[in-house]
Homo-oligomer: A and B are copies of this chain.
């Protein structure tokens, strides 16, 4: 039986609590939140769980697993304490506020032999599982581009900009699909309300093999769009995460390119074929991820979304900050991106 402590009962905390509480292998022992109204909600929803307002949970000897769902700027301190106290750690994304912190947590977890996992939830959705399958099997062919639009009228985060809020989804998905292969990144954006944090931003990420990813991120959009297009040499796919059905559509479409003599040496003709929307598992991603986390702890497996993955994502985010400051300059990342 794993005793689980959760710190942070805000937007995402209740989902974490519910999913850990459901597991037979877990006991949701304690929930901590500084806000009284959030504690009241936690008490009502989990009557058998102790609900507290401080961080004693990090040092509680009977807690095996710490789940950290607080604002980003607090992640490092909390996770470090938890690891030093010998606890396995589940941490929300983005992992930390900078890569140095992330690296320290990775090393600490490794030296202690503890499991450190970053909650890149999308990896555990049926849609991304299907995308991974399509990439790995070669069905899409060589990838040309990855283009993601994540826009809506959103509650502004207080301590991070729209890139740190939304780009971890795409960065972790690409990390999962392709492995560590980011070479460089560029970002431009606007901070319309002088909060110090961009609310609209555009990010280009340059991967190995001339693959370019683009993220369009916006907290000021009147419509909610979550749409990712992956263009491959053989097939292309569109992932519409707002759609309730047919989230993934695979298009047997492409461009036939032939070279020839003459003025126009290259002739590119569209190739059009069937579209297929495969059945996608609709199991709750977080449920799958919690199961996986527990099995990683028990079997001492390294999670695909381990601290290294979290570090890679944070390193890219950090580079976007630099690029934003330098007017969209391309920031190289090659030396930072490794698997372990």
Tell me the A residues contacting B by CB distance below 8 Å: 47-48, 144-145, 147, 149, 151, 153-156, 158, 186, 188-190, 192-195, 199-200, 202, 204, 210, 212, 214, 216, 218-224, 229, 231, 236-238, 242, 244-246, 249, 251, 253, 255, 257, 263-266, 268-270, 272-279, 327-330
Contact = CB atoms under 8 A, between A and B. Distances in A.
B158 A264 contact: yes
A202 B213 CA distance: 11
Contacts of A329: 327-329
Given A153-B272, A193-B268, 7 more contacts: A145-B190, A147-B200, A149-B216, A202-B214, A220-B231, A222-B231, A246-B275
7 contacts: A47-B48, A189-B212, A190-B212, A195-B265, A204-B328, A214-B216, A222-B249
Given A190-B212, A328-B186, A328-B328, A229 B238 contact: no
A220 B144 contact: yes
B195 A222 contact: no
Contact of A263 (B158, B218, B224, B263): B158
A269 B156 CA distance: 8
B268 A195 contact: yes
Closest 7 CB pairs of A and B: A222-B251, A222-B236, A156-B268, A275-B277, A158-B264, A153-B270, A195-B266
A251 to B, nearest CB: 4
Number of copies: 4
A255 B219 CA distance: 9
A210 B193 CA distance: 11
A147 B251 contact: no
A237 B223 CA distance: 9
Nearest to A275: B277
B188 A204 contact: yes
A215 to B, nearest CB: 10
Contact of A192 (B47, B144, B200, B279): B144
B204 A145 contact: no
A272 B279 contact: yes
A78 B199 CA distance: 46
A14 to B, nearest CB: 14
A158 B263 CA distance: 9
Contact of A220 (B200, B255, B327): B255
A148 to B, nearest CB: 11
A45 to B, nearest CB: 10
A149 B225 CA distance: 12
A277 B278 contact: no
Contact of A216 (B147, B257, B277): B147
A155 B200 CA distance: 32
B253 A222 contact: yes
